[in-house]
Structure 1
């Protein structure tokens, strides 16, 4: 139950439940097939429509990005199951955790409590591994020995059934289309697309006999993975056409291109065609290797689930500690993972999902940065958020979604749906 990166947070919601039901094979296959298909489509979109789609990125300024992040936070309420106040509380807590660190504009430490290690903020890996990994381990250890089995020994095949294919392919198509569009937006496109894809699937009607979301629905695995991979491919569009790196990894690519006297921008495809088409070829090779290393080896990954829990959980603790330490080479992060593990265990006992918290933690700093940037450009004029059509439209969508959630009739329907999910 450990998300490897921010965009995988929603995948583990249903993927972990499928593994516990003995359907880890279909879950891995659905994720692999969805990622492969979306990666191929995203690569085609990048190769064919990079320049025209750049115009979409030009429509988004700081006010539009701020409104988009706000819409994502409101959408997290739909993502969360159970009590509405708990979901809002988790989002607010995530926003507060995102404020820890050094203010980008003033350079003043915020909520660091004079602890030097907190001046750089709290890492996503620390919170994710603590709440999802260590929290789940502590919860399992609190149970009787007979109830500690994480995965069932009754494995139901290694590949999705025909019915699974019928259910997951429409979700893969929706996730691919959504990810291809959101990936064009610099900053957070892959994360936003994965959460948005899961939210859309959760709002669609369940088919007869289909497992509810949060209990092992294969659409909850296929759609976010497809959206994530499609966005990862199209996120190269703002890098190659505008010179804007969408994340830290691609910022390193900009540095490497600069060293070789290659200036990222609109002319990069005409002045350096070997670079552009070399990237396209490498993406095709990467997609091919993804499917080659995923599907044939599913049986081997399934065998790992048969390891007794008394041997499994020490290995998980060790590898989590190694992974967290290797990120910043700081032992402080290991202690923080343990702390968030205890917090995650408390949240499990209180029935509070960590996914909305992580979404608030990811989107909060980006929303704050664009909010302050928009106000700086408008000289403190808040009307910039409603005078720009796209920004106003996104804010209206956020308000409409929030009003819909707070409407008593809809709230009762939502509560009943989640009560049925829990049955």
Structure 2
């Protein structure tokens, strides 16, 4: 308990007294689950025999892609700032925008090799990935599972993302900004000459690739606390993630809840102590009231289309 210090929900297991390790959950949900899902499909990998052609776009292709790159960058930058998966939507929104701009007379048609359908979404994806750090660093709100992993990594080093991170850890903040530029430059330097080598990885059979991934996941989880119990938790989370996949549920909200849950509980308890147990304090303070109204509005915005669709199906006459 964050206030009294008493143990909760440890079920008499000593290993659970410190909580469940974040790395164990993420490795299970994203590493083990992906392997189990692929094995359940029974897919095999054919040998890659074709050689990679020219990877440099021509001058004509660059001129044709320039407007799509500009639109995708602007759209992705804006959506990436929005907490709650904005960067994830950037590629889809950019592709939809390019289809609207191209219209029915697009040559070649979208889905048949139109370069704008690749340049726009990729630019939006890259821009959204960069700006998604803004809500994570300034508000402590992860936009997606990747940002949740970043917050988990920062908390392991006793760094709490939030409005004070720029003043309390300026070296981390500006180092992160510079690393983005260096990282993009290194990607260009490494990927363009070595793309032929990366393609050769497609030759590795699944029978060798999956055991290697599982081995590295187990080594990584075990090396954090040198505790085999974390490996068991990873296996359980992998089975849980497979259940999510069968039910078509995204595991990312569980990661976000695991990261934001303790922060939410701690601040909720603090607010209730300051208000002497009066919950109306959340509705009488202007900042909390505005944020709650925005959250309710966004929730209704997501739920109403699905409710309307369900009503149409229910009242549809045979």
Contact 1:150 1:309 in 2 (8 A): no
> Aligned pair 1:229/2:130, yes or no?
yes
Q: Distance in 1 between matches of 2:95 and 2:49?
A: 31
Equivalent in 116, 126, 134 of residue 14 of structure 2: 116
Contact 2:27 2:234 in 1 (8 A): yes
Shift of 1:150: 9.6
Shift of 1:251: 8.7
Q: Deviations over 1:182-217 (max 9, x none)?
A: 7xxxxxxxxx46x23224665678253667xxxxx9
SS in structure 2 of the partner of residue 121 of structure 1: coil
Q: Distance in 2 between matches of 1:137 and 1:327?
A: 22
Counterpart for residue 176 of structure 1: 77
Contact 2:77 2:131 in 1 (8 A): yes
> Aligned pair 1:322/2:223, yes or no?
no
Shift of 1:308: 0.8
Q: Distance in 1 between matches of 2:305 and 2:177?
A: 50
SS in structure 2 of the partner of residue 142 of structure 1: helix
Q: 1:196 to 1:124 in 2, by over 3 A?
A: farther
Contact 2:52 2:196 in 1 (8 A): no
Counterpart for residue 282 of structure 2: 385
Instruction: Tell me how large the CA RMSD over aligned residues is.
Output: 4.6
Shift of 1:330: 2.0
Q: Distance in 1 between matches of 2:267 and 2:22?
A: 20
Shift of 1:234: 8.7
Q: Deviations over 1:236-287 (max 9, x none)?
A: 779xxxxxxx876489598xxxxxxxxx849x99xxxx99988876665455
Q: Distance in 2 between matches of 1:205 and 1:351?
A: 24
SS in structure 2 of the partner of residue 381 of structure 1: coil
Equivalent in 300, 307, 322 of residue 204 of structure 2: 307
Contact 2:33 2:241 in 1 (8 A): yes
Contact 1:127 1:337 in 2 (8 A): yes
Q: Distance in 2 between matches of 1:277 and 1:409?
A: 42
Instruction: Return the index of the structure with the highest Cα Rg.
Output: 2
- Greater RCO structure (CA 8 Å; 6+ sep): 1
Equivalent in 24, 33, 42 of residue 126 of structure 1: 24
Q: 1:311 to 1:352 in 2, by over 3 A?
A: same
Q: 1:227 to 1:389 in 2, by over 3 A?
A: farther
Q: 1:205 to 1:293 in 2, by over 3 A?
A: closer
Contact 2:79 2:89 in 1 (8 A): no
> Aligned pair 1:357/2:259, yes or no?
no
Shift of 1:328: 2.6
SS in structure 1 of the partner of residue 267 of structure 2: helix
Q: 1:285 to 1:386 in 2, by over 3 A?
A: same
Q: Distance in 2 between matches of 1:391 and 1:131?
A: 33
> Aligned pair 1:404/2:304, yes or no?
no
Q: Distance in 2 between matches of 1:237 and 1:358?
A: 19
Worse-matched range after superposition: 338-347 or 157-166: 157-166
Q: 1:220 to 1:411 in 2, by over 3 A?
A: farther
Contact 1:134 1:338 in 2 (8 A): yes
> Aligned pair 1:148/2:49, yes or no?
no
Q: Deviations over 1:30-65 (max 9, x none)?
A: xxxxxxxxxxxxxxxxxxxxxxxxxxxxxxxxxxxx
Equivalent in 283, 289, 305 of residue 186 of structure 2: 289
